[in-house]
Amino acid sequence: MNLPLSVYFKEFGITQLPTNIKQKGVTMKTIDTNRRNFMKKASSSLIAAAAGSSLALSAIKAHAAQSAVTQTKQTQSATTPQKALQMLKEGNDRFIQGKMTQRDLMQQVKATGSGQFPFAAIVSCMDSRASAELIFDQGIGDIFSARIAGNFVDDEILGSLEFACAAAGAKLILVLGHTECGAIKGACDDVVLGSLTQTLSNIKPAVAAVPGFEPDRSSKNDQFVQAVADKNVVLTVERIRERSPILRGMANKGQIGLGGAMYDVHSGKVTFI
């Protein structure tokens, strides 16, 4: 049953219409009319349901999401590496609690069109379940996002990270692995497939660096796969420090933070390591 939108507002004790409703020409008078029509038709069970929904709405209003802050030169320069990490932690908390920040993305498009000032750069897998913007509840202009199967770094990703931090002012690099990673499983199984073979070769050092798990060091062994995924994050963080004098220097001076994390595709939770 489709109830008139206005019924919901009236039943929830809302007497002021939201701006977007006003723009559609709905008035409180039409709401009253609709409400009377609805009340004639409504069964007592529906009324009871509306009362329950009213309580639910009150709870939602009590935990109303914060409005988004679009990053500017000022907000970026005021952000420390520690603060950037905290912002990502809080973003993932909002994500797993379903209390994402309210965003007007087109407003953010307009606000960032002439310049971007992201506070962090994230290296994550291309996996469809591991979008950094979504799982950290970030909007337009908040984070650089380098995504590649197996979340490793090569020269091109390193160059991108150097741009993000040394040229564009990001304060944190986070390497984000995830559970159930197909690229990690492919590397464990020595998959050979066109250009993917070369891609997976970047993950092989992590496979080699995880001892034990005999006799099954294949993708069928979930614990082995996760151990390799964890090691791959650690090695990728180390590789950034080793292979980029620019980023190493910035990290040593405390100008940027550099760390790793693991995303659980079952729970939505990011564990920082």
Q: Which stretch binds Zn ion (CB under 5 A): 55-63, 115-123, 125-133, 197-205?
A: 125-133
- Residue 147 β-bridge partners: 124
Residue 51 Cβ vs Zn ion, minimum distance, rounded to whole Å: 46
Nearest CB to Zn ion, comparing residues 172 and 183: 183
Q: Are 121 and 174 in contact (CB under 8 A)?
A: yes
Closest alpha carbon to 164 in 87, 259, 91, 76: 76
Residue 181 Cβ vs Zn ion, minimum distance, rounded to whole Å: 3
Nearest CB to Zn ion, comparing residues 68 and 122: 122
Tokens of 44: 């007592």
HSE of 249 in the Cβ direction (CA atoms, 13 Å)? 6
Nearest CB to Zn ion, comparing residues 85 and 123: 123
Task: Considering only residues 176 through 195, tell me which ones interact with Zn ion, judged by CB under 5 A.
Answer: 181, 183
Residue 2 Cβ vs Zn ion, minimum distance, rounded to whole Å: 41
Residue 127 Cβ vs Zn ion, minimum distance, rounded to whole Å: 4
Tokens of 208: 């080699």
Q: Does 127 bind Zn ion (CB under 5 A)?
A: yes
Q: Which stretch binds Zn ion (CB under 5 A): 18-26, 108-116, 119-127, 155-163?
A: 119-127
Tokens of 198: 């070369």
Q: Does 87 bind Zn ion (CB under 5 A)?
A: no
Nearest CB to Zn ion, comparing residues 116 and 179: 179
Tokens of 3: 């109830």
Nearest CB to Zn ion, comparing residues 50 and 181: 181
Nearest CB to Zn ion, comparing residues 125 and 146: 125
Per residue, the 3-state secondary structure of 85-119, as one string, reads HHHHHHHHHHHHHCCCCECCHHHHHHHHCCCCCCC
Residue 202 Cβ vs Zn ion, minimum distance, rounded to whole Å: 13
Q: Are 87 and 171 in contact (CB under 8 A)?
A: no
Q: Does 125 bind Zn ion (CB under 5 A)?
A: yes
Q: Mark 106-120 as b/e (b = at least 16 C-beta within 10 Å).
A: eebeebbeeebbbbb
Q: Which stretch binds Zn ion (CB under 5 A): 124-132, 190-198, 235-243, 257-265?
A: 124-132
Q: Are 237 and 231 in contact (CB under 8 A)?
A: no
Q: Name residues whose C-beta falls within 8 Å of residue 66's C-beta, 6 or more positions apart in sequence.
A: 101, 102
Residue 211 Cβ vs Zn ion, minimum distance, rounded to whole Å: 23
User: Under the rule (CB under 5 A), what is the footprint of Zn ion?
Assistant: 125, 127, 181, 183
